[in-house]
């Protein structure tokens, strides 16, 4: 049964109710409380969201979208199994159910993206909040790109890139390498390159052609050959970083072509290591957790690259 959120609560009361819903693990209601707060805080003369409020908003949507993404992955896996068994009746049922989950995913993403574009990003006054909201925008377009197909997937991927790049420009200029939001952006941006761009339908249609995309200081080369598509970054890199990369992993045997996703991850990790001792206790915990995720991804991705080289 759909719940009705009161329209007349104060800002403090919406925060309290959102926390209450979080403790009760009623995340859809938590989203509704935070939506009311966001719309109210966008009125003239009202201050933008506090750090606590924006974190509550993030937690609310993350839990709702997280359960739906998990459901989609499970249903998609079952669909593949039924297809392999040639069980057409079950395949039809599973496809219909997957479509239902996808509609719910689209609705949740549309909800937060609307809040970001209409209220949160325009009212953001600090570099930290701008990066936070632009990263969030990129995240939810990335979630759309995970299950969309055709032109819709292409559009979602392009919107993801634009949001992450805008966030990155601000983060590199104004946030420390150890800042948890900057590190979180680096983590999610690298995941985007690995999981979304490496599944780009556009790359698959190139049929052994190369395409170059200029994006500021980055030039991406998308190549497709023998059923495998790869994304490379051509860029100027400090000599000391090249040495570190070659020392860290022996697969760096090409002079100037490096996998973009790993460079991005590695740079974020190295820059943060250099400044960890400047952090307070809470930021240290947040930053080191994200750095662990960056390192885990680096280990996984370089292992994948080594397997590709061994098979070549």
pLDDT at 129 over 90: yes
| Segment 47-61, tens digit of pLDDT | 899 999 999 999 999
This prediction's pTM: 0.69
Cα separation, 225 vs 270, in Å, equals 33
Side-by-side strand order, sheet with 210-215? 210-215, 218-225, 228-234, 257-259
Tell me which of 5-9, 56-60, 96-100, 259-263 is least confident: 259-263
Which has the higher per-residue pLDDT, 108 or 233? 108
| Segment 6-45, tens digit of pLDDT | 888 999 999 999 999 999 999 999 999 999 999 987 777 6
- Tell me the average pLDDT of the chain: 75
pLDDT for position 19? 97
Record the tokens describing residue 11, joined without a space: 């800002």
Which has the higher per-residue pLDDT, 304 or 126? 126
pLDDT for position 307? 57
pLDDT for position 162? 96
């Amino acid at each position: 049964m759909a719940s009705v959120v009161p329209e007349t609560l104060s800002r403090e009361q919406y925060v309290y109710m959102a926390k209450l819903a979080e403790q009760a693990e009623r995340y859809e209601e938590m989203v509704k409380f935070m939506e009311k707060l966001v719309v109210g805080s966008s009125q003239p003369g009202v201050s933008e969201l506090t750090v606590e409020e924006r974190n509550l908003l993030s937690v609310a949507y993350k839990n709702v979208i997280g359960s739906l993404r998990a459901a989609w992955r499970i249903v998609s896996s079952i669909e593949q199994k039924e297809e392999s068994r040639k069980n057409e009746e079950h395949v039809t049922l599973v496809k219909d159910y997957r479509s239902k989950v996808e509609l719910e995913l689209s609705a949740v993403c549309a909800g937060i993206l609307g809040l970001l574009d209409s209220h949160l990003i325009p009212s953001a006054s600090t570099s930290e909040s701008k990066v936070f909201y632009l990263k969030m925008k990129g995240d939810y377009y990335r979630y759309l790109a995970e299950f969309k197909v055709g032109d819709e997937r292409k559009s979602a991927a392009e919107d993801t890139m634009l949001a992450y790049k805008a966030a990155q420009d601000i983060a590199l200029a104004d946030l420390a390498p150890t800042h948890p939001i900057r590190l979180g952006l680096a983590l999610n941006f690298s995941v985007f390159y690995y999981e979304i761009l490496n599944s780009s339908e556009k790359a698959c249609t190139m049929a052994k052609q190369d395409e170059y995309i200029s994006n500021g200081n980055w030039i991406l080369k998308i190549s497709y050959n023998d059923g495998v598509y790869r994304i490379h970054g051509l860029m100027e890199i400090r000599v000391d970083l090249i040495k570190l990369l070659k020392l860290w992993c022996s697969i760096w045997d090409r002079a100037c072509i490096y996998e973009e996703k790993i460079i991005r991850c590695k740079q974020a990790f190295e820059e943060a290591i250099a400044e960890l001792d400047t952090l307070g206790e809470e930021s240290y915990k947040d930053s080191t957790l994200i750095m662990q995720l960056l390192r885990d991804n680096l280990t996984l991705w370089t292992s994948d690259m080594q397997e590709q080289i061994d098979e070549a």
